Structure 1
Amino acid sequence: MKETPISTIERNFVTQAVKHNLRLDGRKNDEFRKITINFGADWGSALVALGETKVLAQVSCELGVPKATRPNEGIIHINVELGQMAAPHFESGRNSELNVQICRTLERTFKDSRCVDLESLCVTTEERVWMLRIDLNVLNHEGNLIDCCSVAALSALLHFKRPDVSIIDNDVHIHSPAEKEPIPMVLHHYPVCASYCLFDDGRLAIADPSVLEERVADSALVFGLNSFRELCCLNLGGTTLTSSNLLLQCATRAARRAKFVVDYVKEVLELDKLAREEDRNSGFTECVRLNKITALAENRLSLRLRNFKLQGTDDLKDETAMETSGDEEVESEEEDGTEKPQKIVSIDSKSAILESNQSNIKWVPDDDGVESNIESICSENVTEEGDESERSLSQQIEKQMQKHSKKESKRALSKKHLHDDAGSDSEEEAKVIL
């Protein structure tokens, strides 16, 4: 499937918005999107979300033969998978231009900068070394894949622990985690990438571009930096050049961004370590339950529901529940047939879970009989307790009975009126015939 082309109107709109320091998602030109990191239950598994761009990273290792030129160093291989889950125009199993660009940028950032201590991966010189494999699977593509993949790779490497080995009679024995504690990775520095897009013939630069801004931009600028503000990689591609002043400004901002991201990764690692030591839930299951991982562009919806309660989930210790509009206000009606307005629960920007607070709810139309209406009222008030709930229930039943009796009386009067009219017409017809 081919990528949808961009119209001239969209291209001009994005360009003019960037010139006025405005963007489609409400950010400024030098503002980055929010980053979220979640670790899996296995070592070396990390899910990173940069806005709506999501990448799943997994680090694995196996014993292999080292290279002849470097007999006492391990090997690192980085693989990026772009499938149709990320975007419809991606093709699985084929190396596209974007795939090759991401792989080469990550290799220069992590391998050529020698951030990983490869000598610590050596088991036996010229015979056995650990071969690391970093698999990056893009789940959703909303722009700036290089930054998201670099953070995912770094988080997975810091979270990964290789099994311990011992040499017995010239044989390498791999110990299970139950026998010996796994060994964490040794990293000299922590590099990440920061991307910019250039507009207006290289005079304007925007940070953390979206997918539409990447396609409209004239050039792309990628910095590979660590927390010490050391440059590991620099990539400038596109159809235009830029000035040295703008390049230095972008490099300074990218260095601050790199330090912020590395500090955030360390903080999340400490939280995951404490959760594992305290035997608390860790992994993607807990993240899904807390509604932290979303597949849609909108992570919250404003709903108006009956008989549901709103339970906040941002803090597990302080779980609070708010009831929706009461059953009495929902079910009670005035004599003229108008309903009272319902109370609407205001949903804030935090994530929430909607759970039903009643059981055996039966939705019955208003035109059914008295028994069905009484049954619906009883089922909707199962959770009420005490004498007050019984009184309110009896009052509602009496109101329903009164309304039903009024309806029946009106129907009877209308039938009687029709019958009387028919009888008078028959008498007049009989007189005429006589």
Structure 2
Amino acid sequence: MPRAVDISNVEKNFILEALTSSHLRLDGRPLDQFRDTNLSFGAQLGSVTVSIGKTRVNVQISAEVTKPSEERKFDGIFTITTELSPIASPAFEIGRPNEQEVILSRILEKAIRRSRAIDTESLCIVAGQKCWSVRADVHVLDFDGGLIDACCLATMAALYHFRRPDVSVDGERVTIHTMAERVPVPLSILHSPVCITFSFFGDGTVTVLDATVKEEQVRDAELIVTANDFEVCQVAKHGGKPIDPGLTVKCLQVAVTKAREINKFIRLKLAEDASARGVQELTAENDRGEPPVG
């Protein structure tokens, strides 16, 4: 992982001794507790800022009409781009992707796009001719550990919050309606994956949730579990130290429980934002004679 300033041996030994001997963390949290998490929405639909402790991430969703790929003529396009700039940490450099950015991009790609969290078929307008291209731009504003968890949470919240313009098709004529003409349409989301990162210390004898950047610098290994409300979607391990299979199973069980809590938190914040905006879900059929997307 990137290291803006290498941690000193004295501080490293202190953190490891506190964790392995007394199960104590520098910020006083229990080993299985997340830092204070906050989620706020921007004025524009699809704009979300998430903070976990001092780590802060902004995600902006955008959509445009384009031509689908030749291989998937009945699907729309969904992409995720990440930006780790020096504003978040001196360890990040513009134009020079480091190991952390590569891992972040791969995990988000697998956790959200490849797990088919979004129904890309619903983004198709005219097969082989026009479709929606939805893009999630992930910007890291402050970095203090727990980056993957924060980015995944922010991306899913932004996807739920986003609304695309409604479209009508008459033969080969495609009309994109403004918000004044028709109520914009939410994305069709099939499930809600979130990432939970476990850090291991003392040859796997101590397991920590939501490690800070200093804890990440001294850990032996990490296990990133992607889960939704019902099941585990993917597992990724980094670091050379092996993890006991029994401990891995326990981590998977904890991840599913934490995923339910996080998704409940996202739904609560979305409901609060909808209430503040005075948004009401459609209950009648729209002008196309189809049930509303919800």
Tell me if both proteins adopt one fold, taking TM over 0.5 as the criterion.
yes
Structure 2 SS opposite 1:76? strand
In structure 1, the residue matched to 2:182 is 180
Query: Hey, what's the Cα distance between the residues in 2 that align with 1:190 and 1:25?
Result: 30
8 A contact 2:125–2:131 mirrored in 1: yes
In structure 2, the residue matched to 1:16 is 17
Normalized per residue, the structure richer in helix is: 1
For 1:112, give the aligned amino acid: R
1:226 to 1:278, Cα distance in 2 relative to 1, 3 A: closer
State yes or no: 1:236 paired with 2:237. yes
8 A contact 1:203–1:243 mirrored in 2: no
In structure 1, the residue matched to 2:98 is 96
In structure 2, the residue matched to 1:302 is none
Q: Deviations over 1:356-385 (max 9, x none)?
A: xxxxxxxxxxxxxxxxxxxxxxxxxxxxxx
8 A contact 1:65–1:127 mirrored in 2: yes
Q: How far 1:203 sits from its partner (Å)?
A: 2.3
Query: Hey, what's the Cα distance between the residues in 1 that align with 2:219 and 2:145?
Result: 12
For 1:114, give the aligned amino acid: R
After TM superposition, list the pairs within 5 Å mapping 1:193-342 onto structure 2.
Answer: 193-228=195-230, 230-277=231-278
In structure 2, the residue matched to 1:36 is 38
1:177 to 1:260, Cα distance in 2 relative to 1, 3 A: same
Normalized per residue, the structure richer in strand is: 2
Structure 2 SS opposite 1:22? coil
Q: How far 1:2 sits from its partner (Å)?
A: 7.0
Q: How far 1:72 sits from its partner (Å)?
A: 0.6
Query: Hey, what's the Cα distance between the residues in 1 that align with 2:134 and 2:103?
Result: 21
In structure 2, the residue matched to 1:82 is 84
Q: How far 1:167 sits from its partner (Å)?
A: 2.7
TM-score, normalization: structure 1?
Answer: 0.62
RMSD: 1.5
Q: How far 1:44 sits from its partner (Å)?
A: 0.4
8 A contact 1:59–1:160 mirrored in 2: yes
In structure 2, the residue matched to 1:119 is 121
Task: Structure 1: give runs of 5+ residues left out of the alignment.
Answer: 280-434
Query: Hey, what's the Cα distance between the residues in 2 that align with 1:4 and 1:34?
Result: 25
**Stretches (4+) displaced over 6 A:** none
Q: Deviations over 1:100-147 (max 9, x none)?
A: 101110111111111111111000001111111000111100101000
Structure 2 SS opposite 1:139? strand
8 A contact 1:108–1:232 mirrored in 2: no
Query: Hey, what's the Cα distance between the residues in 2 that align with 1:65 and 1:54?
Result: 34
Q: Deviations over 1:171-209 (max 9, x none)?
A: 322111111110001111111000011111122211110
For 1:233, give the aligned amino acid: Q
Task: Structure 2: give runs of 5+ residues left out of the alignment.
Answer: 281-294
Query: Hey, what's the Cα distance between the residues in 2 that align with 1:95 and 1:170?
Result: 42
Report the structure number with the largest CA radius of gyration: 1
Same amino acid, percent of matched pairs: 38
8 A contact 2:119–2:190 mirrored in 1: yes
Query: Hey, what's the Cα distance between the residues in 1 that align with 2:279 and 2:186?
Result: 20
For 2:75, give the aligned amino acid: E
8 A contact 2:4–2:89 mirrored in 1: no
TM-score, normalization: structure 2?
Answer: 0.91
